[in-house]
Amino acid sequence: MTKTISNSEPLNVESIIDSWKGRNGSLLGALEQAQQNDPKKYLSETTLREISKRLDIPLSRVYSVATFYSFFSLKPQGEHLLIVCRGTACHTRGSLVLLNEALSRLKIKEFNEKEENSVTSSDNLITIRTVACFGQCALAPVIMVDGLVLSRMTVSKLVSLLDKLKKGGER
């Protein structure tokens, strides 16, 4: 019997991987869908090994793709994802102030952006991640919240956004 893939039902990782067998872009597709379906929105070592085995792709290649794209996370992520651009244009327009404000509001004390690119609040509500550039430098400083790009961000807009997320609201 063939299993139908739909967005409305939770899928196990084996079904996801098998649905990508023999298709173009199978590795990227399986990684992306596996991460989206994971309750903690990340790729565990078990998932990476399963993808390697079921798609017959060397584990080293699976790892190199999963670590190359900043979209993928090898650590559990929070309910919401806040990405702060730390490229030159955004930096000169105050992205470090935005990043520090977000860290402080979420009571995150330990984060060294030179050593890691993401950190999650202790209540697992928000993961903060940094990127090198969104390609929207003219609109700096730029952040992204749950996939939505927000330009010309200010501290006051960021604070109200974080308050809404904490209260369980949308962006």
The binding site for ligand FES (CB under 6 A) comprises 85, 87-90, 133-134, 136-137, 140, 142
Q: Phi/psi of residue 101, each to 5°?
A: -65, -45
- Indicate the residue among 13 and 142 with the shorter CB distance to ligand FES: 142
- Paired sense of beta strands 143-145 and 80-85, if any: antiparallel
For residue 54, the one-letter residue type is R
Q: Least distance (Å) from ligand FES to the CB of residue 91? A: 7
Nearer to ligand FES, 33 or 118 (CB): 118
Cβ closest to ligand FES, residue 28 vs residue 137: 137
Contacts of residue 135, defined as CB under 8 A and 6 or more positions apart, other chains included, come to none
CA–CA gap between residue 98 and residue 112 (Å, rounded) = 15
To ligand FES, the closest distance from the beta carbon of 143 in angstroms equals 9
Nearest approach in angstroms of CB 47 to ligand FES is 31
Q: For residue 171, which amino acid is it?
A: R
Q: Which residue lies nearest ligand FES, judged by its C-beta?
A: 87
Closest to ligand FES by CB, 106 or 140? 140
Q: Is 81 helix (H, G, I), strand (E, B) or coil?
A: strand
What is the C-alpha separation between 63 and 45, in angstroms, rounded? Answer: 9
Q: Give the residue with the Cβ less far from ligand FES, 93 or 166.
A: 93
Contacts of 55-60 spanning 24+ positions with Cβ under 8 A: 55/17, 55/20, 55/21, 55/26, 55/27, 55/30, 57/27
Taking the C-alpha atoms of residue 71 and residue 118, their distance in angstroms, rounded to an integer, is 11
In the complex, minimum distance from the CB of residue 164 to ligand FES, in angstroms, rounded to a whole number: 23
CB of 86 to ligand FES, least distance (A): 7
